[in-house]
A and B are shown apart, each in its own frame.
Chain A
Protein backbone atom coordinates (compact mmCIF):
# COMPACT_ATOMS: atom_id res chain seq x y z
CA UNK A 1 0.00 0.00 0.00
CA UNK A 2 2.90 2.34 0.59
CA UNK A 3 4.36 1.73 -2.86
CA UNK A 4 4.70 4.60 -5.25
CA UNK A 5 2.59 4.06 -8.34
CA UNK A 6 5.44 3.07 -10.58
CA UNK A 7 5.22 0.73 -13.49
CA UNK A 8 1.97 2.38 -14.41
CA UNK A 9 1.90 3.48 -18.00
CA UNK A 10 -0.67 6.09 -18.80
CA UNK A 11 -1.04 6.39 -22.53
CA UNK A 12 -1.26 10.15 -22.54
CA UNK A 13 2.24 10.77 -21.22
CA UNK A 14 5.57 9.28 -22.00
CA UNK A 15 7.70 11.78 -20.17
CA UNK A 16 9.95 10.44 -17.45
CA UNK A 17 8.76 11.21 -13.96
CA UNK A 18 10.19 14.36 -12.58
CA UNK A 19 9.48 17.96 -11.94
CA UNK A 20 11.37 19.31 -14.87
CA UNK A 21 9.73 21.11 -17.74
CA UNK A 22 6.19 19.95 -17.35
CA UNK A 23 4.88 23.29 -18.42
CA UNK A 24 6.75 24.93 -21.29
CA UNK A 25 6.92 21.92 -23.56
CA UNK A 26 3.52 20.36 -22.95
CA UNK A 27 1.59 19.88 -26.19
CA UNK A 28 -1.59 21.93 -26.08
CA UNK A 29 -4.37 19.62 -24.96
CA UNK A 30 -7.54 19.63 -27.02
CA UNK A 31 -9.73 20.50 -24.09
CA UNK A 32 -9.89 21.17 -20.38
CA UNK A 33 -10.82 17.52 -19.91
CA UNK A 34 -7.69 16.36 -21.72
CA UNK A 35 -5.58 18.74 -19.70
CA UNK A 36 -7.02 17.37 -16.48
CA UNK A 37 -6.45 13.77 -17.48
CA UNK A 38 -2.91 14.55 -18.54
CA UNK A 39 -2.15 16.28 -15.25
CA UNK A 40 -3.58 13.27 -13.41
CA UNK A 41 -1.39 10.85 -15.33
CA UNK A 42 1.71 12.98 -14.78
CA UNK A 43 0.95 13.39 -11.09
CA UNK A 44 0.72 9.62 -10.74
CA UNK A 45 4.03 9.24 -12.49
CA UNK A 46 5.63 11.43 -9.87
CA UNK A 47 5.61 14.92 -11.34
CA UNK A 48 5.20 17.26 -8.39
CA UNK A 49 4.65 20.18 -10.72
CA UNK A 50 1.69 18.47 -12.36
CA UNK A 51 0.35 17.39 -8.97
CA UNK A 52 0.49 21.01 -7.81
CA UNK A 53 -1.24 22.25 -10.96
CA UNK A 54 -3.90 19.60 -10.64
CA UNK A 55 -4.59 20.65 -7.05
CA UNK A 56 -5.12 24.18 -8.33
CA UNK A 57 -7.69 22.88 -10.80
CA UNK A 58 -9.34 20.96 -7.98
CA UNK A 59 -9.46 24.07 -5.80
CA UNK A 60 -11.03 26.00 -8.65
CA UNK A 61 -13.43 23.12 -9.32
CA UNK A 62 -12.79 23.21 -13.05
CA UNK A 63 -13.83 20.79 -15.74
CA UNK A 64 -10.20 19.69 -15.93
CA UNK A 65 -10.33 18.72 -12.26
CA UNK A 66 -13.52 16.77 -12.78
CA UNK A 67 -11.98 14.78 -15.63
CA UNK A 68 -8.87 14.10 -13.54
CA UNK A 69 -10.91 12.93 -10.59
CA UNK A 70 -12.90 10.55 -12.76
CA UNK A 71 -9.56 8.87 -13.53
CA UNK A 72 -8.08 9.12 -10.06
CA UNK A 73 -10.96 8.26 -7.77
CA UNK A 74 -10.86 4.51 -8.47
CA UNK A 75 -7.13 4.58 -7.72
CA UNK A 76 -7.56 6.32 -4.36
CA UNK A 77 -8.91 4.87 -1.16
CA UNK A 78 -5.87 3.22 0.33
CA UNK A 79 -4.16 6.18 1.98
CA UNK A 80 -4.69 6.98 5.62
CA UNK A 81 -6.38 10.39 5.77
CA UNK A 82 -5.65 11.89 9.15
CA UNK A 83 -7.64 14.98 10.08
CA UNK A 84 -5.83 17.29 12.47
CA UNK A 85 -7.99 19.85 14.17
CA UNK A 86 -8.04 22.10 17.21
CA UNK A 87 -8.09 25.72 18.32
CA UNK A 88 -5.91 28.36 16.65
CA UNK A 89 -2.43 28.24 18.13
CA UNK A 90 -2.94 24.85 19.77
CA UNK A 91 0.08 23.55 17.89
CA UNK A 92 -1.45 21.74 14.93
CA UNK A 93 1.14 22.74 12.34
CA UNK A 94 4.07 22.11 14.63
CA UNK A 95 2.69 18.70 15.54
CA UNK A 96 2.01 17.84 11.90
CA UNK A 97 5.60 18.78 11.02
CA UNK A 98 6.85 16.49 13.79
CA UNK A 99 4.58 13.64 12.66
CA UNK A 100 5.79 14.10 9.09
CA UNK A 101 9.39 13.88 10.29
CA UNK A 102 8.60 10.72 12.19
CA UNK A 103 6.86 9.13 9.20
CA UNK A 104 9.82 10.03 6.98
CA UNK A 105 12.23 8.14 9.23
CA UNK A 106 10.27 5.08 8.13
CA UNK A 107 10.58 6.19 4.49
CA UNK A 108 6.91 6.80 3.82
CA UNK A 109 5.95 9.62 1.45
CA UNK A 110 3.69 12.07 3.27
CA UNK A 111 1.38 14.80 2.06
CA UNK A 112 -0.12 17.65 4.04
CA UNK A 113 -3.17 19.73 3.15
CA UNK A 114 -3.13 22.78 5.38
CA UNK A 115 -6.28 24.85 5.36
CA UNK A 116 -6.43 28.44 6.56
CA UNK A 117 -9.42 30.76 6.54
CA UNK A 118 -10.33 33.09 3.68
CA UNK A 119 -11.47 36.59 4.50
CA UNK A 120 -15.25 36.78 4.39
CA UNK A 121 -14.87 40.39 3.26
CA UNK A 122 -12.18 40.44 0.57
CA UNK A 123 -11.72 36.75 -0.22
CA UNK A 124 -8.03 37.09 0.57
CA UNK A 125 -6.17 34.76 2.90
CA UNK A 126 -2.93 34.33 4.77
CA UNK A 127 -1.73 30.76 4.42
CA UNK A 128 0.87 30.47 7.14
CA UNK A 129 1.10 26.81 8.05
CA UNK A 130 4.26 26.24 6.02
CA UNK A 131 6.18 28.43 8.44
CA UNK A 132 6.19 25.53 10.93
CA UNK A 133 7.00 22.93 8.30
CA UNK A 134 10.14 24.36 6.76
CA UNK A 135 12.35 21.48 7.80
CA UNK A 136 10.76 19.31 5.11
CA UNK A 137 11.23 21.64 2.19
CA UNK A 138 14.14 19.79 0.58
CA UNK A 139 12.38 16.44 0.73
CA UNK A 140 10.76 15.34 -2.51
CA UNK A 141 8.55 12.84 -0.73
CA UNK A 142 6.94 15.45 1.47
CA UNK A 143 4.30 17.46 -0.35
CA UNK A 144 2.74 20.35 1.52
CA UNK A 145 -0.11 22.31 0.07
CA UNK A 146 -1.91 25.23 1.65
CA UNK A 147 -5.56 25.82 0.83
CA UNK A 148 -7.78 28.78 1.60
CA UNK A 149 -11.22 27.89 2.90
CA UNK A 150 -12.84 30.17 0.29
CA UNK A 151 -16.09 30.76 2.07
CA UNK A 152 -16.63 27.17 3.14
CA UNK A 153 -17.45 26.88 6.82
CA UNK A 154 -16.73 23.90 9.01
CA UNK A 155 -12.95 24.09 9.04
CA UNK A 156 -12.19 22.83 5.55
CA UNK A 157 -12.32 24.06 1.97
CA UNK A 158 -15.05 22.77 -0.33
CA UNK A 159 -12.47 20.91 -2.39
CA UNK A 160 -10.52 19.34 0.49
CA UNK A 161 -11.92 15.84 0.00
CA UNK A 162 -11.15 15.87 -3.70
CA UNK A 163 -7.65 17.24 -3.04
CA UNK A 164 -7.02 14.44 -0.55
CA UNK A 165 -8.14 11.87 -3.12
CA UNK A 166 -5.69 13.32 -5.63
CA UNK A 167 -2.83 13.04 -3.13
CA UNK A 168 -3.91 9.51 -2.23
CA UNK A 169 -3.90 8.42 -5.88
CA UNK A 170 -0.58 10.17 -6.48
CA UNK A 171 1.29 7.83 -4.17
CA UNK A 172 1.01 9.33 -0.70
CA UNK A 173 -0.04 6.62 1.75
CA UNK A 174 -0.33 9.11 4.59
CA UNK A 175 -2.16 12.42 4.17
CA UNK A 176 -2.58 14.92 6.98
CA UNK A 177 -5.47 17.34 6.57
CA UNK A 178 -4.97 20.25 8.90
CA UNK A 179 -8.14 22.25 9.42
CA UNK A 180 -8.39 25.94 10.10
CA UNK A 181 -8.12 26.74 13.78
CA UNK A 182 -11.47 25.57 15.07
CA UNK A 183 -13.74 26.47 17.92
CA UNK A 184 -16.01 24.08 19.74
CA UNK A 185 -18.08 22.63 16.96
CA UNK A 186 -16.33 22.59 13.60
CA UNK A 187 -16.55 18.85 13.29
CA UNK A 188 -16.75 18.47 9.52
CA UNK A 189 -13.26 16.98 9.40
CA UNK A 190 -14.53 13.87 11.19
CA UNK A 191 -16.79 13.05 8.27
CA UNK A 192 -14.02 13.12 5.70
CA UNK A 193 -10.93 11.84 7.55
CA UNK A 194 -10.29 8.21 8.42
CA UNK A 195 -8.89 9.27 11.74
CA UNK A 196 -9.54 12.52 13.56
CA UNK A 197 -6.79 13.85 15.75
CA UNK A 198 -7.86 16.68 18.02
CA UNK A 199 -5.01 18.86 19.17
CA UNK A 200 -5.48 20.50 22.50
CA UNK A 201 -3.11 22.88 24.23
CA UNK A 202 -2.81 22.78 28.00
CA UNK A 203 -4.55 25.52 29.99
CA UNK A 204 -7.43 25.60 27.57
CA UNK A 205 -10.12 25.07 30.14
CA UNK A 206 -11.26 22.89 32.98
CA UNK A 207 -13.03 19.57 33.08
CA UNK A 208 -16.33 21.14 32.07
CA UNK A 209 -14.76 22.11 28.74
CA UNK A 210 -13.77 18.48 28.31
CA UNK A 211 -17.32 17.19 28.73
CA UNK A 212 -18.97 19.67 26.39
CA UNK A 213 -20.40 18.30 23.19
CA UNK A 214 -18.65 19.06 19.95
CA UNK A 215 -15.09 18.87 18.81
CA UNK A 216 -13.72 16.54 21.47
CA UNK A 217 -16.51 14.09 20.76
CA UNK A 218 -15.35 13.42 17.23
CA UNK A 219 -11.76 12.75 18.27
CA UNK A 220 -10.33 9.32 17.65
CA UNK A 221 -7.17 10.53 19.32
CA UNK A 222 -6.49 13.59 21.42
CA UNK A 223 -2.99 15.03 21.47
CA UNK A 224 -2.22 17.40 24.32
CA UNK A 225 0.53 19.57 22.91
CA UNK A 226 3.28 21.63 24.50
CA UNK A 227 4.02 18.61 26.66
CA UNK A 228 7.30 20.22 27.65
CA UNK A 229 5.39 22.91 29.57
CA UNK A 230 4.47 22.64 33.23
CA UNK A 231 0.87 21.57 33.73
CA UNK A 232 0.60 19.76 30.42
CA UNK A 233 0.52 16.35 32.05
CA UNK A 234 -2.27 17.47 34.35
CA UNK A 235 -4.30 18.74 31.38
CA UNK A 236 -3.83 15.36 29.71
CA UNK A 237 -5.00 13.46 32.76
CA UNK A 238 -8.05 15.75 33.18
CA UNK A 239 -9.04 15.04 29.60
CA UNK A 240 -8.38 11.35 30.00
CA UNK A 241 -10.58 11.26 33.07
CA UNK A 242 -13.48 13.06 31.48
CA UNK A 243 -13.36 11.40 28.08
CA UNK A 244 -13.32 7.92 29.54
CA UNK A 245 -16.56 8.66 31.38
CA UNK A 246 -18.22 8.49 27.98
CA UNK A 247 -16.88 5.02 27.52
CA UNK A 248 -19.06 3.67 30.33
CA UNK A 249 -22.23 4.79 28.55
CA UNK A 250 -20.74 3.35 25.43
CA UNK A 251 -21.34 -0.25 26.52
CA UNK A 252 -24.95 0.31 27.50
CA UNK A 253 -25.87 2.27 24.41
CA UNK A 254 -27.01 -0.56 22.19
CA UNK A 255 -27.85 0.68 18.71
CA UNK A 256 -27.77 4.35 19.52
CA UNK A 257 -24.85 6.31 18.06
CA UNK A 258 -22.05 5.77 20.49
CA UNK A 259 -19.57 8.34 21.70
CA UNK A 260 -16.00 7.59 20.77
CA UNK A 261 -13.41 6.75 23.33
CA UNK A 262 -10.32 8.65 22.32
CA UNK A 263 -6.87 7.84 23.54
CA UNK A 264 -5.29 10.96 25.09
CA UNK A 265 -1.60 11.38 24.45
CA UNK A 266 0.85 13.96 25.68
CA UNK A 267 3.19 15.27 22.99
CA UNK A 268 5.65 18.02 22.30
CA UNK A 269 6.07 18.98 18.68
CA UNK A 270 9.15 21.00 19.59
CA UNK A 271 11.09 18.33 21.48
CA UNK A 272 9.49 15.43 19.66
CA UNK A 273 8.40 13.84 22.92
CA UNK A 274 5.49 11.46 22.42
CA UNK A 275 5.49 11.89 18.64
CA UNK A 276 6.67 8.37 17.73
CA UNK A 277 4.01 6.94 20.06
CA UNK A 278 1.35 9.14 18.48
CA UNK A 279 2.27 8.09 14.94
CA UNK A 280 2.28 4.46 16.05
CA UNK A 281 -1.21 4.93 17.51
CA UNK A 282 -2.40 6.46 14.22
CA UNK A 283 -0.90 3.57 12.28
CA UNK A 284 -2.52 1.02 14.59
CA UNK A 285 -5.90 2.61 14.00
CA UNK A 286 -5.41 2.53 10.25
CA UNK A 287 -4.34 -1.10 10.32
CA UNK A 288 -7.34 -2.03 12.48
CA UNK A 289 -9.70 -0.21 10.16
CA UNK A 290 -8.29 -1.98 7.13
CA UNK A 291 -8.99 -5.27 8.87
CA UNK A 292 -12.55 -4.36 9.82
CA UNK A 293 -14.18 -3.71 6.48
CA UNK A 294 -17.38 -5.59 7.21
CA UNK A 295 -20.62 -3.65 7.17
CA UNK A 296 -21.60 -2.04 10.43
CA UNK A 297 -18.03 -1.43 11.52
CA UNK A 298 -16.85 2.05 12.46
CA UNK A 299 -14.57 2.06 9.42
CA UNK A 300 -17.43 1.24 7.10
CA UNK A 301 -19.59 3.92 8.67
CA UNK A 302 -16.82 6.47 8.22
CA UNK A 303 -16.36 5.56 4.57
CA UNK A 304 -20.08 5.87 3.95
CA UNK A 305 -20.17 9.23 5.73
CA UNK A 306 -17.36 10.44 3.49
CA UNK A 307 -19.17 9.20 0.38
CA UNK A 308 -22.31 10.94 1.57
CA UNK A 309 -20.47 14.22 2.16
CA UNK A 310 -18.93 14.10 -1.30
CA UNK A 311 -22.10 13.16 -3.09
CA UNK A 312 -24.19 15.76 -1.28
CA UNK A 313 -21.65 18.45 -2.12
CA UNK A 314 -21.57 17.53 -5.79
CA UNK A 315 -25.35 17.20 -6.07
CA UNK A 316 -25.85 20.59 -4.44
CA UNK A 317 -23.36 22.15 -6.80
CA UNK A 318 -24.86 20.50 -9.87
CA UNK A 319 -28.29 21.67 -8.80
CA UNK A 320 -27.04 25.21 -8.32
CA UNK A 321 -25.46 25.14 -11.78
CA UNK A 322 -28.69 23.99 -13.38
CA UNK A 323 -30.72 26.62 -11.60
CA UNK A 324 -28.31 29.25 -12.88
CA UNK A 325 -27.94 28.03 -16.45
CA UNK A 326 -29.44 30.02 -19.29
CA UNK A 327 -32.65 27.97 -19.42
CA UNK A 328 -33.51 28.24 -15.74
CA UNK A 329 -31.99 31.51 -14.59
CA UNK A 330 -35.08 33.71 -15.22
CA UNK A 331 -37.33 31.35 -13.25
CA UNK A 332 -34.74 31.07 -10.47
CA UNK A 333 -34.43 34.84 -10.18
CA UNK A 334 -38.18 35.31 -10.18
CA UNK A 335 -38.49 32.74 -7.40
CA UNK A 336 -35.76 34.45 -5.37
CA UNK A 337 -37.62 37.75 -5.65
CA UNK A 338 -40.85 36.14 -4.49
CA UNK A 339 -39.12 34.59 -1.48
CA UNK A 340 -37.42 37.89 -0.64
CA UNK A 341 -40.81 39.63 -0.75
CA UNK A 342 -42.33 36.88 1.43
CA UNK A 343 -44.86 36.06 -1.30
CA UNK A 344 -43.92 32.42 -1.12
CA UNK A 345 -42.13 30.37 1.52
CA UNK A 346 -38.73 28.95 0.61
CA UNK A 347 -39.84 25.32 1.08
CA UNK A 348 -42.68 25.54 -1.41
CA UNK A 349 -40.39 27.46 -3.76
CA UNK A 350 -37.74 24.73 -3.56
CA UNK A 351 -40.32 22.07 -4.37
CA UNK A 352 -41.56 24.09 -7.33
CA UNK A 353 -38.06 24.56 -8.70
CA UNK A 354 -37.23 20.88 -8.31
CA UNK A 355 -40.40 19.97 -10.18
CA UNK A 356 -39.58 22.41 -12.97
CA UNK A 357 -36.08 20.89 -13.33
CA UNK A 358 -37.59 17.45 -13.66
CA UNK A 359 -39.72 18.48 -16.59
Chain B
Protein backbone atom coordinates (compact mmCIF):
# COMPACT_ATOMS: atom_id res chain seq x y z
CA UNK B 1 0.00 0.00 0.00
CA UNK B 2 1.35 3.37 -0.95
CA UNK B 3 0.38 6.65 0.58
CA UNK B 4 -0.98 9.48 -1.53
CA UNK B 5 2.30 11.28 -1.87
CA UNK B 6 3.58 8.86 -4.51
CA UNK B 7 0.66 9.55 -6.76
CA UNK B 8 1.53 11.28 -10.00
CA UNK B 9 0.11 14.79 -10.22
CA UNK B 10 -3.05 14.75 -12.33
CA UNK B 11 -3.55 17.64 -14.72
CA UNK B 12 -6.50 18.55 -16.91
CA UNK B 13 -5.48 20.32 -20.09
CA UNK B 14 -8.48 22.02 -21.62
CA UNK B 15 -9.13 24.46 -24.40
CA UNK B 16 -12.03 26.71 -23.52
CA UNK B 17 -13.52 28.92 -26.18
CA UNK B 18 -13.77 28.76 -29.90
CA UNK B 19 -10.26 28.90 -31.30
CA UNK B 20 -9.12 25.66 -32.88
CA UNK B 21 -5.40 25.98 -32.20
CA UNK B 22 -4.56 23.09 -29.95
CA UNK B 23 -1.00 22.33 -31.02
CA UNK B 24 0.32 24.14 -27.94
CA UNK B 25 -2.04 22.28 -25.63
CA UNK B 26 -1.05 18.94 -27.15
CA UNK B 27 2.66 19.70 -26.96
CA UNK B 28 2.27 20.67 -23.32
CA UNK B 29 0.22 17.55 -22.59
CA UNK B 30 2.88 15.40 -24.16
CA UNK B 31 5.67 17.29 -22.38
CA UNK B 32 4.01 16.91 -19.00
CA UNK B 33 3.55 13.21 -19.69
CA UNK B 34 7.31 13.00 -20.13
CA UNK B 35 7.70 14.84 -16.81
CA UNK B 36 5.70 12.10 -15.10
CA UNK B 37 2.30 13.78 -14.88
CA UNK B 38 -1.00 12.10 -15.63
CA UNK B 39 -2.60 14.40 -18.18
CA UNK B 40 -6.28 14.33 -19.04
CA UNK B 41 -6.80 15.98 -22.40
CA UNK B 42 -10.36 16.96 -23.26
CA UNK B 43 -10.06 18.46 -26.70
CA UNK B 44 -11.30 21.64 -28.28
CA UNK B 45 -14.13 24.08 -27.68
CA UNK B 46 -14.91 23.47 -24.07
CA UNK B 47 -17.46 25.57 -22.26
CA UNK B 48 -16.59 26.60 -18.70
CA UNK B 49 -19.19 24.08 -17.48
CA UNK B 50 -17.52 21.27 -19.42
CA UNK B 51 -14.13 22.14 -17.96
CA UNK B 52 -15.49 22.24 -14.41
CA UNK B 53 -17.35 18.96 -14.83
CA UNK B 54 -14.29 17.18 -16.23
CA UNK B 55 -12.10 18.57 -13.44
CA UNK B 56 -14.60 17.34 -10.87
CA UNK B 57 -15.05 13.83 -12.26
CA UNK B 58 -11.33 13.37 -12.80
CA UNK B 59 -10.44 14.85 -9.40
CA UNK B 60 -7.46 16.64 -10.88
CA UNK B 61 -4.84 18.63 -8.98
CA UNK B 62 -4.35 21.15 -11.76
CA UNK B 63 -6.51 22.70 -14.46
CA UNK B 64 -4.36 24.07 -17.29
CA UNK B 65 -6.24 26.26 -19.74
CA UNK B 66 -4.98 27.06 -23.19
CA UNK B 67 -6.64 29.96 -24.90
CA UNK B 68 -5.73 32.00 -27.93
CA UNK B 69 -9.07 33.48 -28.89
CA UNK B 70 -8.96 36.60 -26.75
CA UNK B 71 -11.95 35.51 -24.68
CA UNK B 72 -9.84 34.77 -21.62
CA UNK B 73 -11.24 37.63 -19.54
CA UNK B 74 -14.71 36.11 -19.85
CA UNK B 75 -14.03 32.38 -19.79
CA UNK B 76 -11.21 32.00 -17.26
CA UNK B 77 -12.95 33.78 -14.36
CA UNK B 78 -16.07 31.72 -15.10
CA UNK B 79 -14.10 28.50 -14.81
CA UNK B 80 -12.49 29.62 -11.55
CA UNK B 81 -15.88 30.54 -10.13
CA UNK B 82 -17.35 27.22 -11.27
CA UNK B 83 -14.58 25.28 -9.55
CA UNK B 84 -15.10 27.24 -6.32
CA UNK B 85 -18.82 26.57 -6.52
CA UNK B 86 -18.09 22.84 -6.60
CA UNK B 87 -15.83 23.10 -3.57
CA UNK B 88 -12.72 22.69 -5.64
CA UNK B 89 -10.85 25.68 -4.22
CA UNK B 90 -7.75 23.55 -3.79
CA UNK B 91 -7.33 22.97 -7.52
CA UNK B 92 -4.49 24.92 -9.06
CA UNK B 93 -5.62 26.86 -12.16
CA UNK B 94 -3.04 27.95 -14.70
CA UNK B 95 -3.37 29.50 -18.13
CA UNK B 96 -1.34 29.67 -21.29
CA UNK B 97 -1.69 30.90 -24.84
CA UNK B 98 -1.96 34.48 -25.93
CA UNK B 99 -2.78 36.57 -22.89
CA UNK B 100 -1.68 40.22 -22.74
CA UNK B 101 0.43 41.16 -19.72
CA UNK B 102 -2.11 43.83 -18.81
CA UNK B 103 -4.75 41.19 -18.15
CA UNK B 104 -2.67 39.00 -15.88
CA UNK B 105 -3.30 40.87 -12.63
CA UNK B 106 -7.04 40.68 -13.08
CA UNK B 107 -6.92 36.98 -13.96
CA UNK B 108 -4.89 36.27 -10.85
CA UNK B 109 -7.48 38.07 -8.81
CA UNK B 110 -10.11 35.82 -10.36
CA UNK B 111 -8.24 32.72 -9.23
CA UNK B 112 -5.73 31.91 -11.97
CA UNK B 113 -2.50 31.18 -10.13
CA UNK B 114 -0.09 31.50 -13.03
CA UNK B 115 -0.09 32.62 -16.65
CA UNK B 116 2.47 31.05 -18.97
CA UNK B 117 3.05 32.98 -22.15
CA UNK B 118 4.90 32.07 -25.35
CA UNK B 119 8.50 31.04 -24.68
CA UNK B 120 7.75 29.22 -21.43
CA UNK B 121 9.50 25.87 -21.35
CA UNK B 122 7.76 22.67 -20.39
CA UNK B 123 10.29 22.22 -17.58
CA UNK B 124 9.28 25.60 -16.14
CA UNK B 125 5.63 24.61 -16.17
CA UNK B 126 6.37 21.21 -14.62
CA UNK B 127 8.51 22.74 -11.88
CA UNK B 128 5.86 25.31 -11.11
CA UNK B 129 3.16 22.67 -10.84
CA UNK B 130 5.28 20.41 -8.64
CA UNK B 131 5.99 23.17 -6.18
CA UNK B 132 2.49 24.64 -6.12
CA UNK B 133 0.08 21.72 -6.13
CA UNK B 134 -1.72 21.36 -2.82
CA UNK B 135 -0.72 18.14 -1.09
CA UNK B 136 -3.51 15.67 -0.40
CA UNK B 137 -4.39 14.20 2.96
CA UNK B 138 -2.92 10.76 3.39
Interface contact A137-B50, CB-CB below 8 Å: yes
The contact of B43 among A25, A53, A134, by CB within 8 Å, is A134
Q: Kindly supply a per-residue 1/0 record for chain A positions 29-65, scoring 1 wherever the CB is within 8 Å of any chain B CB and 0 otherwise.
A: 0001001000000000000110011011101111100
Distance (whole angstroms) from the CB of B26 to the closest CB of chain A: 9
Distance (whole angstroms) from the CB of B130 to the closest CB of chain A: 13
* B98 interface contact, C-beta 8 A: no
Distance (whole angstroms) from the CB of A20 to the closest CB of chain B: 6
C-alpha gap A37/B7 in the complex (Å):
21
Distance (whole angstroms) from the CB of A76 to the closest CB of chain B: 19
Interface contact B38-A56, CB-CB below 8 Å: no
User: How many residues of chain B are within 8 Å of chain A by beta carbon?
Assistant: 40
The contact of B57 among A23, A48, A63, A122, by CB within 8 Å, is A48
Interface residues of B in 65-119 (CB under 8 A from A): 85-90
* A119 interface contact, C-beta 8 A: yes
* B59 interface contact, C-beta 8 A: yes
* B58 interface contact, C-beta 8 A: yes
User: How many residues of chain A are within 8 Å of chain B by beta carbon?
Assistant: 44
Interface contact A127-B59, CB-CB below 8 Å: no
* A118 interface contact, C-beta 8 A: yes
Q: Which residues of chain B are near A57, meaning CB under 8 Å?
A: 4
* B138 interface contact, C-beta 8 A: yes
Interface contact B87-A122, CB-CB below 8 Å: no
In chain B, what residue has the closest Cβ to A23? B87
* A19 interface contact, C-beta 8 A: yes
Distance (whole angstroms) from the CB of B64 to the closest CB of chain A: 13
* B123 interface contact, C-beta 8 A: no
Q: Which residues of chain B are near A119, meaning CB under 8 Å?
A: 33-34, 36
Interface contact A60-B2, CB-CB below 8 Å: yes
Distance (whole angstroms) from the CB of A344 to the closest CB of chain B: 28
Q: Which residues of chain B are near A19, meaning CB under 8 Å?
A: 56, 86-87
Q: Which residues of chain A are near B54, meaning CB under 8 Å?
A: 130, 137, 144
Distance (whole angstroms) from the CB of A21 to the closest CB of chain B: 4
C-alpha gap A56/B91 in the complex (Å):
14
C-alpha gap A53/B56 in the complex (Å):
9
In chain B, what residue has the closest Cβ to A21? B87
A126-B3 contact given A19-B56, A23-B88, CB 8 Å threshold: no
Q: Which residues of chain A are near B8, meaning CB under 8 Å?
A: 118, 123-125, 148, 150
The contact of B38 among A22, A66, A124, A138, by CB within 8 Å, is A124
C-alpha gap A119/B86 in the complex (Å):
31
C-alpha gap A242/B95 in the complex (Å):
53
Distance (whole angstroms) from the CB of B86 to the closest CB of chain A: 5
Distance (whole angstroms) from the CB of A171 to the closest CB of chain B: 15
Q: Which residues of chain B are near A130, meaning CB under 8 Å?
A: 40-43, 54, 58
Interface contact B59-A122, CB-CB below 8 Å: no
Q: Which residues of chain A are near B50, meaning CB under 8 Å?
A: 134, 137-138
Q: Which residues of chain B are near A24, meaning CB under 8 Å?
A: 87, 89
C-alpha gap A123/B50 in the complex (Å):
27
14 pairs, CB–CB < 8 Å, chain A vs chain B: A23-B90, A49-B86, A52-B58, A52-B59, A53-B59, A62-B1, A119-B34, A125-B38, A126-B39, A126-B41, A130-B42, A134-B42, A137-B53, A145-B58
